[in-house]
């Protein structure tokens, strides 16, 4: 289970266009609402521009003449214009609110869709994906990457569009007033954008560096906090603080550089636009004196220059956060595009009923009798009763191509047999369970379940016919009751209590503050390791499958408790095929067959007595244990 | 709360103060430049000034822009320094604090929550801080400056502001105070959603084995939908901010045009003054807008700040302030006197009660007991990982509270049940036990822990790099490395808490023999499930439900202790 150390990719997307298209596809079901947003933004921008125009009209058209000479007609015009202005402004305000509100529901809805799509995909990924990707890295797609997207939706997009609309409007007005001055302004703006780009490139590289150190610092925090107890036991606080100090300072330096160069943009652009204003004024003056332009036009043009450069500066800044959001979106889509677990199985698991002639028929009722439904090419199906026979036919497997973990393993488990695997760590015991469950697929050799190659059985149905109790006893946030019911959602409360009794968990559960309704927090931290294992055994008992896999299921339970649950375990194993993996030989002693694994091969097999008689590896392991007697 | 967090600005205070000051310079220029612009139009283009006046004013404007640019550049530089320095100190303070946390403190917060507090929450706080120092001076200066100018121009007309500003403040205050609880709610739902993801990541095998993917998806959809609704509910208020601002700005504008316009017509007010007055409304409302944005930022980050504050203010419940710095641990004797312990510090809910026993230096003690009998809890009291509720724990004849923690824990080595290795080479990990350990000492410890052989089987031997959490060694190998790491401390007491559960019995036996040979003077405590692991101990302590059931030699226990006999037999049956 190697976890790759992940290198955080830079904050630049690889294929911005494609990603943008994907995002729009996500939003496509809000097409109508997006259109309304666009209309709203346009109305509110236009209202702003028109408001300014009316302001001029009030001053030039009414107040100036009224000052010279009072005229009641003009005065009424003045009042009327004020009302029109109020109307325009009010429309603007209302549409601002309306588009923000619509955008809010569009953006939260889209985020919801992206999150659930990502989660649904994650659930469909093969176990290998989780074994080979750092969990922190997967997690950050749900947190950091969706956060940048949220920022994009809630602020950037609307601002960007608004800026674009006012730039276009102002540009047209400028062009209308004077093409000569417009060329001048455009040249200057191109120069300004070039500066933004140059600084942006530099700060982009610095941001990359900052991300690198940020990843390092966060990784260190995670590792040290997870190992906090070891730090305490070894009095390692001083060393760990010193090392943190070092990388934290590196991060600080990189972040200062990155942020410094990014936030210097705003004052540079703001003040360059003042320079632009001054230059335009001089040229405008020359043009008006030489008679190419009226004085009024120059004044209006200068007014528009101020409204032109500001939104462009804003847009260029927003451009950076758009790129960052696209980079995040790309990582999200990468995960959504991962190959899901392949499942070309066609044999399914169905409930069956046995008629008086012993013939199986499919039924929707819960009969407790299960059958494999085998479809044939001609459209007919055959039902065979699920028994629980498993055989391995020279199975060879490795997690990667270079190293095989299992080498030509063959074995046969008859219905109701208990097969045990013993051997030192790394011998390949857990791998066997990974294969039966098809967490990993076998390239060489065959595994058959009731004579059917497991690759032909639908994965979900295969897994439903098996129950596992794993070494790491994962519990979920929820009540004790819900955690046991995890094995079979439709189990009645009585069945759950019966299963808990079987696993000898009932007595401690009763002593919990709220009994079966006690809420377990993250990974059941309020229970001891042994108690958690008892719950996972109860969970498997509720599932009630024909085949049971116990992977170090009792390693944290003391042998006395194990002896207490033995009766329950015996009842649990009755009539089922059971695979047991254990270090503790007392756990495996009464198995029908014991496989001793070494380096991926079965080196000894037989029952306890015959293996002891062989005086081989098993004998050594066993006698090593009972030196006392 | 703010005071405590802001204290972390520390040596960067200089920049935190300079940033707003420089920003004031920039704002001044920003207020002055429009004057130059106005006179350029009024006197240069409309008036008599002509080209030469325009050029003169243009040059002045460029000069002012350059000055402003420099202020702005400095502001950006100082702001970044102050903000990033603040974040650095905040992280550092929190990290140090958490490193000093006792086990009980960590239990309270949970690791995953501590990590989020140090990462996401710090980032949020840092962003808010940078925004505040940049805007904090800018907005009020602009507000005050523009208001003064407006009042100077026309007192009667400024009454409009006096009405508008309180109305606006009440509206914004209403939005803010209602938004805060909604954001807190949203963040907690957000935590829950992330917890769902986290659980599915670690428990994916369980999910798949029980074919519960569809249910998990449904569960996640419910959490994601709750987040969506909470976000809409919270941001619904925030988006009111913009329209409210616009409404008051436009309202003022129209009111001023009406009243001001009438004054102009009546001859009491000049037209040019009216234009400047309108310009100032823009600036005043703009600065109010900035102030409201600061508040929004603070509200969003307040939830994060509260979480940081909780860490900073957490009382470390276990310190060695009253210890005797000179006191050295003389020998490895251990004595429990009437010890009672409770994780909840509640006398009604005791985990250990009335525990009494004494161990002589150099003894090897086995501890057995059922699941949940508090074996781990008991031994954790010896290196003082938790404090007793009642009674006392004596090590080397002194109460553990009399030693400094560092000294006590360097003499009492403990190999934890849930142990951790860190990323780095094997040798780096082993040196945790003793930084100055020589190659020979390390090899010796590894041989004793039966780790040397498998380490040497790796192509890079002791230099083999371990992934985070030691992911590339097997469970049994990990346990052996952890034992070797503890042995390197050369402690007077070593405690092995079920530390060989993943090691096969033969190797387990070899390790115990090596410990006996190499650590003859060291008190050894072994918690084990296997009876064979404790059967060669000098004495075995049988623990049952948090109390001592028996403490005697294995031979005696075989005769008169029911629990011991049962455990023995449970492992013997069928042999």
CB neighbours of residue B367 within 10 Å: 26
- The label of the residue with tokens 């020998």 reads B331
CB contact A59 to B (< 8 Å): yes
Query: Residues B546-561: what's their mean pLDDT?
Result: 90
Give domain limits for chain B: 2-313, 334-572
pLDDT at B446: 92
Q: What is the distance between the alpha carbons of residues A32 and A103, in angstroms, rounded to a whole number? A: 11
Confidence of residue A475 (pLDDT cuts 50, 70, 90): confident
Nearest-neighbour CA in chain B from A237: distance (Å): 6
| CATH number of the domain residue A451 falls in | 3.40.50.300
- The label of the residue with tokens 């948090």 reads B546
Contact B294, B311 (CB under 8 A): no
Nearest-neighbour CA in chain A from B337: distance (Å): 23
Nearest-neighbour CA in chain A from B370: distance (Å): 6
Would you say domain B334-572 falls under CATH 3.30.70.20?
no
CB contact A231 to B (< 8 Å): yes
The model's pTM: 0.76
Which residues of chain B have a CB within 8 Å of the CB of A288?
Answer: 45
pLDDT at A493: 93
Residue A88 located in a structural domain: yes
Q: Is the pLDDT of residue A395 over 80?
A: yes
**Domain assignment of residue A40, given as a range:** 15-167+315-341
Confidence of residue A245 (pLDDT cuts 50, 70, 90): very high
Determine whether the interchain pair A268/B69 forms a contact, defined as Cβ–Cβ distance below 8 Å: yes
Determine whether the interchain pair B61/A277 forms a contact, defined as Cβ–Cβ distance below 8 Å: yes
Contact A361, A352 (CB under 8 A): yes
Work out the angle at residue A606's Cα, subtended by the Cα atoms of residues A601 and A611, and round it to the nearest 5 degrees: 95
Of B75, B95, B563, the CB nearest to A560: B563
Task: Tell me the CA distances in angstroms from A66 to A73, A78, B414, one per residue in order.
Answer: 10, 9, 93
Q: What is the distance between the alpha carbons of residues A443 and A446, in angstroms, rounded to a whole number? A: 8
Nearest-neighbour CA in chain B from A320: distance (Å): 17
Q: For a pLDDT cut of 70, what percent of chain B falls above it?
A: 97
Residues contacting A13, CB < 8 A, separation 6+: A19, A323, A326, A327, A329, A330
Q: Is the pLDDT of residue A11 over 70?
A: no
Determine whether the interchain pair B211/A272 forms a contact, defined as Cβ–Cβ distance below 8 Å: no
CB neighbours of residue A575 within 10 Å: 11
Residue A73 located in a structural domain: yes
**B2-313, superfamily in CATH?**
ABC transporter type 1, transmembrane domain (1.20.1560.10)
Buried b (16+ CB within 10 A) or exposed e, A389-412: bbbbbebebbbeeeebbbbebebe
Q: What is the distance between the alpha carbons of residues A323 and A200, in angstroms, rounded to a whole number? A: 12
Contact B372, A528 (CB under 8 A): yes
Nearest-neighbour CA in chain B from A236: distance (Å): 7
Residue A240 corresponds to which tokens in the numbers above? 């760990």
Contact A422, A591 (CB under 8 A): no
Domain check: are A425 and A372 in the same one? no
Give residue-wise pLDDT tens across range B527-544. 987 787 888 889 999 988
Choose the mutation target among B36, B293, B372 for the interface with A, i.e. most A CBs under 10 Å: B372
Which residues of chain A have a CB within 8 Å of the CB of B83?
Answer: 259
Residue A72 located in a structural domain: yes
CB contact A543 to B (< 8 Å): yes
Lowest mean pLDDT of A153-157, A184-188, A446-450, name the range.
A153-157
Task: Find the residue in B nearest to A150 (Cα).
Answer: B231
Q: Indicate the SS3 state at residue B428.
A: helix
Domain check: are A493 and A357 in the same one? no
Query: Residues B11-34: what's their mean pLDDT?
Result: 84
Residue A595 corresponds to which tokens in the numbers above? 């496989």
Q: How many residues does chain A have?
A: 629
Indicate the pairing of strand B364-369 with strand B523-527. parallel
Of B275, B289, B215, B297, which is closest to residue B245 (Cα–Cα)? Answer: B289
Determine whether the interchain pair A139/B194 forms a contact, defined as Cβ–Cβ distance below 8 Å: yes
Query: Residues A510-521: what's their mean pLDDT?
Result: 84
Task: Find the residue in A nearest to B23 (Cα).
Answer: A267
Residue A275 located in a structural domain: no
Q: Is the pLDDT of residue B353 over 70?
A: yes
Q: What is the distance between the alpha carbons of residues B72 and B52, in angstroms, rounded to a whole number? A: 30
Q: Is A484 exposed, middle or buried (0-12, 13-18, 19+ CB in 10 A)?
A: buried
Nearest-neighbour CA in chain B from A461: distance (Å): 8
- The label of the residue with tokens 């030489």 reads A290
Domain check: are A20 and A126 in the same one? yes
Determine whether the interchain pair B68/A241 forms a contact, defined as Cβ–Cβ distance below 8 Å: no
* Domains of chain A: total: 3
pLDDT at A524: 52
Q: What is the distance between the alpha carbons of residues B229 and A164, in angstroms, rounded to a whole number? A: 31
Determine whether the interchain pair B54/A251 forms a contact, defined as Cβ–Cβ distance below 8 Å: no
Q: Is the pLDDT of residue A129 over 60?
A: yes
Q: How many whole angstroms from its chain centre is CA A380?
A: 42
Query: Residues A412-430: what's their mean pLDDT?
Result: 81
Enumerate the β-bridge partners of residue A349.
A372
Domain check: are A557 and A510 in the same one? yes
Question: Pick the residue with more confidence: B417 or B183?
Answer: B183
Query: Residues B91-98: what's their mean pLDDT?
Result: 92
Q: What is the distance between the alpha carbons of residues A30 and A182, in angstroms, rounded to a whole number? A: 38
CB-side neighbour CA atoms (13 Å) of A513: 8
Choose the mutation target among A47, A67, A267 for the interface with B, i.e. most B CBs under 10 Å: A267
CB contact A184 to B (< 8 Å): no
Task: Looking at B157-270, list the stretches that DSSP marks H as alpha helix, in order from N- to C-terminal side.
Answer: 159-202, 204-209, 213-238, 241-266
Which residues of chain B have a CB within 8 Å of the CB of A236?
Answer: 432
Domain check: are A591 and A462 in the same one? yes
pLDDT at A119: 94
Lowest mean pLDDT of B2-11, B109-118, B485-494, name the range.
B109-118
Average pLDDT, chain A: 82
Choose the mutation target among A192, A276, A285 for the interface with B, i.e. most B CBs under 10 Å: A285
Of B121, B69, B82, B127, which is closest to residue B98 (Cα–Cα)? Answer: B121
Domain check: are A358 and A492 in the same one? no
Give residue-wise pLDDT tens across range B188-246. 888 788 888 878 887 888 888 888 888 899 999 999 999 999 999 988 988 888 888 88
Task: Looking at A352-457, list the stretches that DSSP marks H as alpha helix, in order from N- to C-terminal side.
Answer: 429-436
pLDDT at B524: 92
Which residues of chain B have a CB within 8 Å of the CB of A278?
Answer: 40, 57-59, 61-62, 65
Of B98, B207, B240, the CB nearest to A225: B98
Give residue-wise pLDDT tens across range B148-204. 878 888 888 888 877 888 888 888 888 888 888 888 888 788 878 888 887 888 788
Q: What is the distance between the alpha carbons of residues B400 and B396, in angstroms, rounded to a whole number? A: 9
Q: Following DSSP, what letter does each residue of B267-288 receive, concatenated? A: TSS-HHHHHHHHHHHHHHHHHH
Domain check: are A508 and A428 in the same one? yes
CB neighbours of residue A191 within 10 Å: 11
pLDDT at A216: 83
Task: Find the residue in B nearest to A246 (Cα).
Answer: B92
| CATH number of the domain residue A111 falls in | 1.20.1560.10
Residue B1 corresponds to which tokens in the numbers above? 């709360």
Domain check: are A464 and A511 in the same one? yes
Q: What is the distance between the alpha carbons of residues A368 and A390, in angstroms, rounded to a whole number? A: 20
Contact A457, A472 (CB under 8 A): no
pLDDT at A92: 92
Q: Indicate the SS3 state at residue B458.
A: coil
Residues contacting A369, CB < 8 A, separation 6+: A351, A352, A353, A354, A360, A385
Determine whether the interchain pair A267/B87 forms a contact, defined as Cβ–Cβ distance below 8 Å: no
Q: Indicate the SS3 state at residue A601.
A: strand
Domain check: are A381 and A397 in the same one? no
Which residues of chain B have a CB within 8 Å of the CB of A439?
Answer: 205, 208
Q: In sequence order, what E strands does B294-389 have?
A: 334-341, 352-359, 364-369
- Last residue of a domain, which of A328, A363, A385? A385
Q: What are phi and psi of B537, to 5 degrees?
A: -75, 160
* ipTM of the shown complex: 0.81
Determine whether the interchain pair A260/B77 forms a contact, defined as Cβ–Cβ distance below 8 Å: yes
Of B66, B201, B530, the CB nearest to A135: B201
Confidence of residue B572 (pLDDT cuts 50, 70, 90): low
* Residues 84-123 (A) with a CB less than 8 A from some CB of B: 85-86, 89-90, 92-94, 96-97, 100-101, 104-105, 108-109, 111-112, 115-116, 119-120, 122-123
pLDDT at B133: 85
pLDDT at B468: 61
Residue A185 located in a structural domain: no
Residue B345 corresponds to which tokens in the numbers above? 């510090």
Query: Residues A154-168: what's their mean pLDDT?
Result: 82
Q: What is the distance between the alpha carbons of residues A111 and B225, in angstroms, rounded to a whole number? A: 10
Of B246, B414, B570, the CB nearest to A233: B414
Q: What is the distance between the alpha carbons of residues B180 and B168, in angstroms, rounded to a whole number? A: 18
Contact A24, A47 (CB under 8 A): no
Residue A558 located in a structural domain: yes
Best-predicted range by mean pLDDT (A82-86, B304-308, B422-426) = A82-86
Residue A248 located in a structural domain: no
Confidence of residue B507 (pLDDT cuts 50, 70, 90): confident
Which residues of chain B have a CB within 8 Å of the CB of A621?
Answer: 504-506
Indicate the pairing of strand B493-497 with strand B523-527. parallel
Query: Residues B30-52: what's their mean pLDDT?
Result: 74
Q: Indicate the SS3 state at residue A3.
A: coil
Confidence of residue A616 (pLDDT cuts 50, 70, 90): confident
Task: Find the residue in B nearest to A66 (Cα).
Answer: B265
Domain check: are A536 and A471 in the same one? yes
Domain check: are A372 and A456 in the same one? no
pLDDT at A93: 93
CB contact A176 to B (< 8 Å): no
Determine whether the interchain pair A101/B236 forms a contact, defined as Cβ–Cβ distance below 8 Å: yes
pLDDT at A6: 35
Residue B568 corresponds to which tokens in the numbers above? 């023995």
Which residues of chain B have a CB within 8 Å of the CB of A587?
Answer: none
Of A93, A224, A522, the CB nearest to B246: A93
Lowest mean pLDDT of A149-153, A237-241, A313-317, B49-53, name the range.
A313-317
Query: Residues A11-28: what's their mean pLDDT?
Result: 80
Residue A397 located in a structural domain: yes
């Amino acid at each position: 289970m190697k976890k790759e150390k992940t290198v955080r990719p830079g904050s630049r997307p690889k294929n911005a266009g494609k990603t943008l298209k994907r995002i729009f596809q996500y939003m496509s079901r809000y097409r109508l609402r997006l259109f309304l947003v666009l209309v709203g933004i346009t109305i509110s921008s236009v209202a702003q521009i028109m408001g300014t125009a009316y302001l001029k009209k009030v001053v030039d058209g009414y107040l100036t003449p009224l000052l010279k000479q009072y005229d009641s007609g003009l005065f009424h015009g003045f009042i009327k214009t004020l009302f029109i202005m109020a109307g325009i402004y009010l429309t603007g305000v209302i549409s601002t609110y309306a588009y923000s509100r619509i955008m809010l529901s569009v953006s939260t809805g889209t985020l919801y869709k992206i999150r659930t799509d990502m989660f649904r995909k994650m659930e469909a990924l093969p176990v290998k994906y989780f074994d080979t990707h750092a969990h922190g890295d997967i997690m950050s797609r749900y947190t950091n990457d969706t956060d940048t997207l949220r920022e994009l939706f809630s602020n950037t997009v609307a601002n960007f569009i608004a800026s674009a609309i006012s730039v276009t409007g102002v540009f047209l007005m400028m062009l209308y007033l004077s093409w000569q001055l417009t060329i001048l302004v455009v040249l200057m703006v191109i120069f300004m954008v070039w500066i933004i780009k140059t600084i942006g490139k530099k700060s982009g590289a610095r941001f990359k560096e900052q991300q690198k150190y940020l990843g390092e610092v966060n990784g260190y925090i995670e590792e040290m906090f997870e190992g906090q107890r070891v730090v305490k036991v070894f009095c390692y606080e001083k060393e760990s603080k010193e090392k943190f100090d070092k990388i934290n300072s590196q991060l600080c330096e990189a972040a200062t550089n990155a942020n410094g160069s990014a936030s210097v943009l705003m004052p540079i652009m703001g003040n360059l636009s003042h320079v632009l204003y001054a230059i335009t004024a001089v040229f405008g003056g020359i043009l008006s004196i030489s008679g190419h332009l009226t004085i009024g036009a120059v004044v209006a043009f200068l007014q528009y220059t101020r409204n032109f450069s500001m939104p462009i500066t804003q847009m260029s800044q927003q451009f950076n956060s758009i790129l960052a959001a696209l980079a995040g979106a790309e990582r999200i889509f990468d995960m959504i595009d991962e190959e899901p677990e392949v499942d070309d199985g066609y044999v399914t698991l169905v409930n069956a009923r046995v008629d008086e002639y012993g013939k199986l028929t499919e039924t929707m009722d819960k009969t407790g009798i299960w059958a494999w439904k085998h479809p044939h090419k001609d459209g007919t199906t055959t039902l065979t009763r699920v028994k629980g026979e498993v055989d391995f036919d020279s199975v060879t497997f490795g997690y990667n191509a270079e190293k095989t973990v299992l080498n030509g393993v063959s074995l046969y488990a008859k219905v109701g047999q208990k097969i045990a695997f013993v051997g030192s760590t790394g011998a390949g015991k857990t791998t066997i369970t990974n294969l039966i469950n098809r967490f990993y697929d076998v390239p060489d050799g065959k595994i058959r379940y009731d004579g059917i190659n497991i690759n032909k059985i639908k994965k979900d149905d295969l897994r439903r016919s098996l129950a596992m109790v794993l070494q790491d006893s994962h519990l979920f946030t929820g009540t004790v009751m819900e955690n046991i019911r995890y094995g079979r959602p439709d189990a009645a409360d009585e069945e759950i209590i019966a299963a808990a009794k079987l696993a000898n968990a009932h007595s401690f559960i009763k002593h919990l503050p709220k009994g079966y309704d006690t809420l377990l927090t993250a990974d059941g931290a309020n229970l001891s390791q042994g108690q958690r294992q008892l719950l996972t055994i109860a969970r498997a008992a509720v599932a009630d499958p024909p085949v049971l896999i116990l992977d170090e299921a009792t390693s944290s339970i003391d042998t006395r408790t194990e002896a207490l649950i033995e009766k329950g375990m015996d009842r649990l194993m009755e009539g089922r095929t059971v695979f047991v993996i254990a270090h503790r030989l007392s756990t495996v002693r009464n198995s029908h067959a014991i496989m001793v694994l070494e380096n991926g091969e079965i080196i000894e097999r037989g029952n306890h007595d015959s293996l002891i008689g062989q005086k081989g590896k098993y004998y050594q392991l066993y006698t090593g244990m009972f030196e006392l007697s | 709360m703010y005071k405590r967090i802001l204290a972390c600005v520390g040596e960067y205070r200089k920049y935190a103060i300079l940033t707003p000051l420089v920003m004031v310079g920039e704002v001044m220029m920003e207020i002055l430049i429009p004057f130059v612009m106005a006179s350029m139009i009024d006197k240069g283009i409309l008036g008599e000034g002509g080209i030469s006046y325009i050029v003169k004013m243009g040059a002045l404007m460029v000069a002012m822009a350059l000055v402003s640019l420099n202020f702005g550049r400095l502001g950006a530089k100082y702001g970044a320094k102050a903000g990033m320095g603040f974040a650095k100190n905040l992280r550092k303070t929190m990290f140090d604090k958490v490193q000093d946390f006792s086990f009980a403190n960590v239990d309270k917060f949970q690791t995953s929550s501590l990590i989020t507090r140090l990462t996401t929450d710090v980032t949020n706080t840092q962003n808010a801080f940078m925004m505040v120092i940049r805007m904090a001076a800018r907005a009020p200066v602009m507000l005050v400056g523009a208001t003064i100018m407006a009042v100077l121009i026309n007192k009667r007309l400024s009454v409009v502001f006096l009405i508008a500003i309180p109305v606006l403040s009440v509206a914004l205050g209403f939005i803010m105070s209602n938004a805060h609880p909604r954001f807190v709610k949203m963040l907690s739902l957000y935590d829950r959603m992330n917890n769902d993801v986290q659980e599915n990541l670690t428990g994916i095998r369980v999910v798949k084995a029980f074919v519960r993917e569809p249910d998990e998806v449904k569960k996640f959809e419910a959490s994601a939908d709750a987040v969506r609704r909470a976000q809409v509910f919270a941001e619904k208020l925030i988006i009111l901010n913009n329209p409210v601002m616009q409404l008051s700005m436009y309202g003022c504008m129209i009111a001023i045009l009406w009243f001001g316009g009438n004054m102009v017509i009546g001859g009491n007010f000049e037209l040019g003054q009216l234009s400047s007055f309108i310009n100032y409304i823009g600036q005043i409302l703009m600065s109010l807008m900035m102030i409201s944005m600061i508040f929004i930022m603070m509200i969003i980050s307040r939830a994060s700040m509260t979480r940081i504050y909780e860490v900073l203010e957490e009382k470390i419940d276990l310190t060695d302030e009253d210890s005797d710095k000179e006191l050295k641990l003389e020998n490895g004797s251990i004595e429990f006197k009437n010890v009672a312990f409770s994780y909840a510090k509640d006398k009604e809910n005791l985990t250990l009660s009335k525990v009494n026993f004494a161990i002589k230096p150099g003894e090897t003690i086995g501890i057995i007991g059922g699941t949940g009998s508090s074996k781990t809890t008991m031994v954790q009291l010896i290196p003082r990982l938790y404090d007793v509720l009642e009674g006392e724990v004596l090590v080397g004849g002194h109460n553990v509270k009399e030693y400094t923690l560092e000294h006590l824990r360097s003499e009492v080595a403990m190999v934890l049940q849930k142990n951790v290795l860190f990323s780095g080479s094997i040798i780096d990990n082993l040196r945790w036990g003793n930084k100055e350990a020589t190659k020979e000492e390390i090899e010796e410890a590894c041989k004793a822990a039966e780790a040397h052989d498998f380490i040497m089987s790796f192509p890079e031997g002791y230099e083999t790099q371990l992934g985070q959490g030691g992911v590339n060694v097997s469970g049994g190998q990990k346990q052996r490395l952890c034992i070797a790491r503890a042995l390197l401390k050369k402690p007077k007491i070593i405690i092995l808490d079920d530390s060989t559960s993943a090691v096969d019995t033969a190797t387990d036996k070899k390790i115990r023999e090596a410990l006996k040979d190499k650590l003859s003077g060291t008190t050894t405590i072994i918690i084990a499930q296997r009876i064979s692991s404790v059967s060669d101990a000098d004495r075995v302590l049988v623990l049952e439900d948090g109390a001592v059931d028996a403490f005697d030699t294995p031979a005696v226990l075989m005769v008169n202790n029911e629990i011991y006999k049962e455990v023995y037999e449970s492992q013997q049956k069928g042999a």
